[in-house]
Chain A
């Protein structure tokens, strides 16, 4: 087990950690979503990389092909990419609405404004 033989795993773990770190430490809501995107993308690599064999081809039944790559992980990740896009789109849509309602996309400022709302009895409705 050398660094090179498990290269894709090392990259996967690195990207997972980078993504999670951004989600945890950034206060900007858009940057958090970027971190989440990196976190999800790392998983695509975890699935896709082991499916590829060196010298493997697409699974075509025929005399001249002997080594096949597994196509299933790719198909799975196609689905996961769709899910990831939907999540990111929804997250960004929420950020737009938050910006409209609060006037900021900084988490600390939003939490501060919420804390102020909690102390005053009448909290303002978001659309009135």
Chain B
């Protein structure tokens, strides 16, 4: 049966599409292959999510070598949930890319763009599906290396420097992660994550395990862009081609957050991570700093792409805040915000890509008067902005609501004020856009550009509409997020 091999195919399909695209070379042919591969990948991810929601964890022995000797692919509701987000984002970005990269990537490099997108997708999905600590590192580097090149493809020469800086920071992060895995291997003698979980209980409290926890936390936090390790992110998002910014903003940091959740709650266990030491307090402090400092920096930006990038760092703070609460409610809020923020920020970057195509840049001087020249795009940006703030009726409100109730459940009433105050900062930076787009005259040298082409506008509008839809009817997203939190927290997969 083919369905049996879905966990492997989830990675293999995009991975094999990449060399095919390189052979095809022609822009149109490579686009068609990429489109087909992402559609198939999304189908597989969706079917895996349905399967894991009804039957629980799926284990797949790679090459029929049984775990723990062979590499095990292991996917449960949590991994499948993030995989669906990643694959869906890939499927939305692909039709968009055909026109979206036309002006931003040189035409002879188009096939490389598609090939790298496929590699990035394969790497990200691999991280989610693998049950092996070292295999996870390899997929982390597969996706990261593809990402560095994608960022460097941006037209502006600063894209090169941004990619170089991300390469340094990303490699340091991944290497710290490998050090952590090495220490865990020395303590437990296994690399299989499920096996490691049971053996860590036998090892008990040791300095090696503590050091491993520290190395893995800092390494993955670099990849998450958790404040103050976020310095690579704003330039990388600002100078990358627009579809790349959208794809990365919605997926790359989210996958790393999943890895952190996995290590904290499943592998080390929340007793080891939170009860025995001050991890929760430290993470809480960093999350609060992330909610405020980058949000203030975002207010003073003069470029919409940079503004959104700083807003991303700020929004990541909400997700880690939910993790730091160390409760099912907090984790559920984190999973919700992970989904909702991917939807919102992905949508915003996609809309902005169309604006960049027409106006020739995302600087506020180019965006002036956007409400008159590109009314649909400007309106979509405002709706997305409302979701960033967390206005009722948008997806952002739902996840902030769950976050606030999780904080109250823990008796941390003052966090309600913190979330509210940070949202007010979001009001200010979203207002900056509104002011530029609606209360300034269009630049004089700037003929009426008209809306972005439909192939770009439709995917962007679909995501913005998703923000509103999941803000009004959050039944599906909240139910799945609850399952994700339970799977991560109570870990029913181990020992089966």
Contacts and interface: CB of A to CB of B under 8 A. Distances in A.
Contact of B172 (A20, A76, A83): A20
A98 B175 contact: no
Nearest to B157: A126
Contact of A29 (B137, B145, B159, B164): B164
B155 A127 contact: yes
Nearest to B179: A43
A111 B191 CA distance: 42
A40 interface: yes
B377 to A, nearest CB: 22
A125 B172 contact: no
A114 B160 contact: no
Interface string B199-242: 00000000000000000000000000000000000000000000
B21 interface: no
B22 to A, nearest CB: 16
B108 to A, nearest CB: 11
A73 B158 CA distance: 39
B23 to A, nearest CB: 21
Interface string A30-50: 001000100110010011001
Contact of A125 (B149, B156, B171): B156
B303 to A, nearest CB: 9
Contacts of B185: 47, 73
B134 interface: yes
B168 interface: yes
A108 interface: no
B363 to A, nearest CB: 8
B246 to A, nearest CB: 21
Given A83-B141, A94-B148, A126 B172 contact: no
A86 B146 CA distance: 11
Nearest to A105: B164
A126 B175 contact: no
Interface in B134-155: 134, 137-138, 141, 145, 148-149, 152, 155
A17 interface: no
Nearest to A98: B160
A4 to B, nearest CB: 19
Nearest to A89: B145
A26 B152 CA distance: 22
B186 interface: yes
Dominant SS among interface residues on chain A = helix
Contacts of B163: 94
A102 interface: yes
A39 B167 contact: no
Interface centre among A29, A39, A102, A126 (most CB of B within 10 A): A126
Given A97-B160, A98-B161, A123-B156, A23 B168 contact: yes
Interface centre among B134, B156, B157, B161 (most CB of A within 10 A): B157
Interface in A57-109: 73, 76, 79-80, 83, 86-87, 90-91, 94-95, 97-98, 101-102
A43 B157 contact: no
A102 B157 contact: yes
Given A97-B152, A114-B158, A124-B157, A46 B179 contact: yes
Given A23-B168, A76-B134, A91-B164, A50 B186 contact: yes
A102 B159 CA distance: 12
A29 B165 CA distance: 10
B164 A98 contact: yes
A110 interface: yes
Nearest to B303: A118
Contacts of A126: 155-157, 159-160
Contacts of A47: 182, 185
Contacts of B186: 50
A107 B169 CA distance: 15
B106 to A, nearest CB: 7
Given A80-B178, A94-B163, A126-B159, 16 more contacts: A23-B172, A29-B164, A36-B171, A39-B172, A43-B178, A43-B179, A46-B182, A47-B182, A83-B138, A83-B141, A90-B149, A95-B164, A101-B160, A102-B157, A121-B363, A126-B156
10 contacts: A36-B168, A43-B182, A76-B134, A86-B141, A91-B168, A114-B158, A124-B157, A125-B156, A126-B156, A127-B155
